[in-house]
A and B are shown apart, each in its own frame.
Chain A
C-alpha cells in the first residue's frame, strides 16, 4: 500500500508541559438541529443530533484529524468550534496567545470578534469560498480591514508577503478569483486565513475538492506553514490517506460521536473500534492483490445492531 512520506514536526508540546496547556479543549460539545413542521406556525417535530457530546483536546502545534463518513457530524463539529453555529451544549476552551483561556461556546458575538484573529478556517470548496466579485488583494486583505490591523500601505506589503508565502505570484493580486485554478484558489483561501497569524486553523475538507497532485502540493504547503507559523490544525477529512500522512492523532466520528481517538500510527496499525476497522477496510488500495471489501453494508448494519 502506498504511504506518503510522513513529515511530522519532531516535538509536539505536550499538554502536561507547564505554561502550555492544550490550545483547544472541547468538552461535551453537542449541536442539535430542530426540525420544524411546515406551515405558518412551525412546531418542532424532531431533533437531529448532529454532534452528540464529544470531547477532545488539541495540543499546541498538533494536527488532529477528524474522520468519518459523510453526515457523521465532522463538519458541524468544525463549524461549532469556530462558532459558525452556536453549540447546543458543551465548552470549547481556547487558549489565547496572551495565555487567557476563553470559552468559545458561550461568548457573545461581540466578544467573539477579536478572537477570530486567532482561529481561522479553510473551506472545502475553493470555488464558493472566494467572493467572485472581489480582486484577490481585497479578499486576502479583508481580515486586516475588519480588525483594523494595518494601514493601507502595510496591508499591501502584508498581502504581497503572504501571497509569496503560500506560493502565489504577488503580481496577480489584482486579478479576480475566476482567473485562478482550484489549487491556486485554495492557496488564496489559506492566505486569507493566515494573514492575521492565527494559532488554530480548522481545515474543513481543505483538500477533498482538489485533484491528487494538487492535493499533495496543498498538504505540503500546509505542513510547511505549520512549522513556520507554529500552527495547530484541526483537519476534517474523509480521505484516510490524507489524514495518515498529515495528522499526529486521528479521531473517528460516527453519528455525532467520537468512537476512537488515537495517535495516527496506532490507529492505522491497531484499530480498536469495530467501525474504525470497517473504515480502514474501505480504503481502496492500488495493490491488486488486496481485495476490495465487498461486505461494507452488512458490516455497518451489524455495527448498528451492536450499538444502536
Chain B
C-alpha cells in the first residue's frame, strides 16, 4: 500500500497547520506531555500532595501512636496468600541478655490479615471531621478485641519507641511539602513586583533596586536564621517559629527571581507591542500585566517549581541540624534527626526512609521544572 501523500490532510507534515487556533499555553502543554519523565513527575507530585491532604486517612496509625514492644521493628513486607489474603507475618522478638540487642523473627504460622478501609485509631480528618477508618490497616476479626488491642504492623519498620515509620512519613509529607509554600508565594510576589518595577521603569529606579539586591544578597543566611531562631518568643510552638523563620528568609530570597524578572521585562518593554500598547493609551499597569508579565510567566513558573525542592532540602537540613522543626512536629527532617549516629544507621537502616522520599520528591520537582522549561522555551533545549 502506498504511503499517504505528504500533503493529505492526515499527513503528519500538516499537523502543525491545525495549531492555528492554539494559544501558546496550549502548545506548551502539548510539548510538556511529550516530556515523559516530567509528565510522570506530575503524577508523583500529585500523589504526594494527595497523601499530604489526607494524611490521617492514608496512614495506618497516628504519627504519635507507639508500642514500645515493637521498638526498632524491621519492615514487615506485605504478602499475599489464598487463605489469609493480604497479610504480614507476626514478629517474634528475642532480646540478647548480654547486649540487650533485640532480634525480630517472622512467624510464618501467625499471619496478620490486612485490609483496606478498616476501622482503627480515631482521628479528625483535616482537623474537623471525626473518623476512624484508615485506607490500610489490620483487618479486625469478627468478635475480636477492641481495635487498640489488635496486633500492629510496620510496613516500613518502627523507630526507637515503636512508632510506625510509614505513618510518620505520610504525616511528615504534609509539613514538609506545605510549610515553605507560603514563603515561596511571598518570595514570588516580592520578586515579580520589585524585579518588574526595576525592569519596567529602568534608569535610576533600576540602579537603586539593583544595588539593594546586592546588599540583600550579601547577608549571610544561616547566622541570620540562627539569630531569628533565638530572637523569636520561646513560648511559640515549634511550627509557628519555623513558619516565622521561613517568612523572614523569604524576605532575603526574592533577589534571584527579581533579577530574572528584571532582565526579561527590560528586554520585553523594548518590543514593538509594548510601544504599541503605550501609543494606544494603555496604562502602566495594563502594559505590565497584559503585555509584559505573560512573557515572563514561563520563567516564573519554572523558578517556582525549581525552588520547591530547595525549600524541602532546606527544611530537612535545618531540622536535621536541630535548627528548624523539632519534635513533636513530624516532618521528614525531624525523622532524619533520629539517625544522627552511625550505629543507628548500621543497625536500623529503615530509619533512613525519609531520605529516600526526599530524593524522590526533589527529583520529581526538578524534572517537573525541566519539563516546564522545555515546554515554554523549546528553542534552548535539545
| Interface pairs (24), CB distance under 8 Å | A82-B279, A84-B275, A84-B279, A123-B276, A128-B271, A129-B272, A130-B273, A131-B273, A132-B24, A133-B23, A133-B24, A133-B294, A135-B23, A142-B277, A142-B280, A146-B280, A175-B20, A175-B21, A176-B21, A176-B22, A176-B24, A179-B19, A179-B20, A189-B276
Measured in the bound complex, the distance between the Cα atoms of B290 and A134 in whole Å is 9
The reply on A120 being an interface residue by CB < 8 A is: yes
From the candidates A84, A176, A192, name the one contacting B23 in the complex (CB within 8 A): A176
Scan A216-254; emit 1 where CB is below 8 A from any B CB, else 0: 000000000000000000000000000000000000000
Report A-chain residues with C-beta under 8 Å of the C-beta of B276: 121, 123, 129, 189, 192
The reply on B66 being an interface residue by CB < 8 A is: no
Contact A143 B280 (CB under 8 A): yes
Contact A116 B271 (CB under 8 A): no
The reply on B286 being an interface residue by CB < 8 A is: yes
Scan B248-283; emit 1 where CB is below 8 A from any A CB, else 0: 000000000000000000000001110111111111
Q: How far is the CB of A141 from chain B (nearest CB, A)?
A: 11
A interface residues (Cβ-Cβ under 8 A, vs B): 40, 82, 84, 112-114, 116-117, 120-121, 123-125, 128-135, 142-143, 146-147, 172, 174-176, 178-179, 189, 192
Report A-chain residues with C-beta under 8 Å of the C-beta of B291: 131
Number of A-B contacts (CB under 8 A): 69
Contact A128 B286 (CB under 8 A): no
Measured in the bound complex, the distance between the Cα atoms of B277 and A82 in whole Å is 12
Q: How far is the CB of A134 from chain B (nearest CB, A)?
A: 8
Report A-chain residues with C-beta under 8 Å of the C-beta of B272: 123-125, 128-129
Contact B280 A179 (CB under 8 A): no
Q: How far is the CB of A240 from chain B (nearest CB, A)?
A: 24
Contact B20 A172 (CB under 8 A): yes
Residue of B nearest to A123 (CB): B272
Contact B273 A129 (CB under 8 A): yes
Measured in the bound complex, the distance between the Cα atoms of B280 and A189 in whole Å is 12
Measured in the bound complex, the distance between the Cα atoms of B280 and A130 in whole Å is 13
Q: How far is the CB of B169 from chain A (nearest CB, A)?
A: 41
Contact A117 B281 (CB under 8 A): yes
A146/B278 contact (C-beta < 8 A), A131-B273, A175-B21, A176-B24 known = no
Report A-chain residues with C-beta under 8 Å of the C-beta of B275: 84, 123
The reply on B85 being an interface residue by CB < 8 A is: no
Residue of A nearest to B281 (CB): A116
The reply on B349 being an interface residue by CB < 8 A is: no
The 3 closest A-B pairs by CB, nearest first: A179-B20, A116-B281, A129-B272
Residue of B nearest to A127 (CB): B272
Report A-chain residues with C-beta under 8 Å of the C-beta of B294: 131, 133
Measured in the bound complex, the distance between the Cα atoms of B275 and A192 in whole Å is 13
Measured in the bound complex, the distance between the Cα atoms of B287 and A142 in whole Å is 11
A128/B23 contact (C-beta < 8 A), A82-B279, A116-B280 known = no
